[in-house]
Structure 1
């Protein structure tokens, strides 16, 4: 019964009253990006825009985005739950409500938001609900945190189009990706930032479907 209860707890979001209390002060993180050298928390130059994605384990997800031309800086963090300034150990209990997410700061004159959405959908399985493959938990859920109405519109079109592509490819799953207004983003601990640059043999955790995002 204990193991069943733990599994259920990880796949059901907690109520606010059940969430861990967290702390008022931010946890310590890295000051700069380990690959590009930019300040992790900004300030960011005028004209740069922000996108935020949750697609399972943030190690592999962050590496996808920092490699893209036009991406200025990326960061791993936690968002979408109730616990202020959580630690990794708290998030993986499932009792914060947060998802592992990636912040992407990009230059829209070089790379568009739709291009980021394409990377997002092609590189994980958005039909998995509260998991990615063997990584089970609410903190591995698929989610897009939008910063304005334009991102909401583009994300909704992209989700609809990718669902059609999955059906056409014979993939029977229904997309469970949430599209939500961007909540506060809590930076993860320093050792989680750009983890796969520091630990090239680490697991990415990404479980793509193999279905390409439709073009045109």
Structure 2
């Protein structure tokens, strides 16, 4: 019998149900999720070096052929990081949009240095699963990216999206400059007004200045496009659209 690998990549040997139960119990105790964000001194310490399974520096985008996933990016490009639940679900939403230079997924806005996926899933890093988007704002204004984001997930859910629950699944936008923050505030206000008219809840999207971005493991990058992917989607959009607020030419 071949060894089986669980969702988090832990290899298990064939054995009795009792051994399996003991393993599961041990893992539960070790990685049981806390509720909500942790004080920094309660988070896992991490490591000084990038994780060994991070994509190689010379890696190219699996879908946007030839595009780098590490800086430097083409002159004039901007970056924005978004959280919409599981990053498997969100990255592919932007590949067909004209003006998107590159995308990559990782962990951001937490405490643990160079975290692994397994550590992030423990809830003990404070990191969020995000898609970082590199875009040409002259071709694809930030407003268009935010329109896609808000229309394809439920921004009123707190610490989760659909069946995916936990701090790493929080709705979020992490910006890199003041101009982006101004645009984000405008879009959030406009969408909240529409949700109010529809009797929906308050937008819970976390909006913060981007902290250190840590690349997720190579197998997570452009996951949906790769052979053998799970084709999983936990997004739960509200089904409420709003006009494109991009500047008119």
- Asked whether the two chains share a fold, i.e. TM above 0.5, the reply is yes
**1:162 alignment counterpart:** 191
SS in 2 for 1:89: helix
The answer to whether the 8 A contact 2:127-2:167 is kept is: yes
TM-score if structure 2 supplies the norm length?
0.80
Deviant stretches of 4+, over 6 Å: none
Alignment of 1:43-122 (within 5 A): 43-122=72-151
**Structure 1 residues 120-150: Cα deviation after superposition (integer angstroms, max 9, x where no partner):** 1111101101010111000000110010111
Q: Do the aligned partners of 2:54 and 2:215 also contact (CA within 8 Å) in 1?
A: yes
Single out whichever of 57-66 and 30-39 deviates more from structure 2: 30-39
Question: Within 5 Å, which residues of 2 pair with 1:195-210?
Answer: 195-198=223-226, 199=228, 201-210=230-239
Gaps of 5+ in 2: 1-27
- Quote the offset at 1:201 in angstroms: 4.7
| Contact kept in structure 2, 1:80 and 1:184, CA below 8 Å | yes
In structure 2, C-alpha distance between the alignment counterparts of 1:48 and 1:60, rounded to whole Å = 24
RMSD value over aligned CA atoms? Answer: 1.8
Aligned mates of 2:37, 2:198 — CA distance in 1: 31
1:193, distance to aligned residue in structure 2 (A): 0.3
Q: Contact 1:48–1:106 (CA<8 Å) still a contact in 2?
A: yes
2:48 maps to which residue?
24
Q: How much does 1:160 deviate?
A: 1.1
TM-score if structure 1 supplies the norm length?
A: 0.92
Distance 1:42 1:215, change over 3 A: closer
Cross-structure match for 2:208:
180
Change (3 A) 1:40 1:215: closer
Residue segments in structure 1 that go unaligned for 5+ positions in a row: none
2: CA distance between counterparts of 1:133 and 1:88?
20
- Tell me, yes or no, if the aligned pair for 2:162 and 2:236 is still in contact at 8 Å: yes
Q: Which has the higher contact order (CA 8 A, sep 6+)?
A: 1
Q: Which is further off, 100-109 or 35-44?
A: 35-44
Confirm or deny that 1:14 pairs with 2:53: no
Q: In the TM superposition, what whole-angstrom CA distance separates every residue of 1:51-79 from its partner, at most 9, and x where no partner exists?
A: 11011000111001122111011001000
- Residue 204 (structure 1) shift: 2.1
The answer to whether the 8 A contact 2:160-2:166 is kept is yes
Q: Equivalents in 2 of 1:90, 1:14: separation in Å?
A: 14
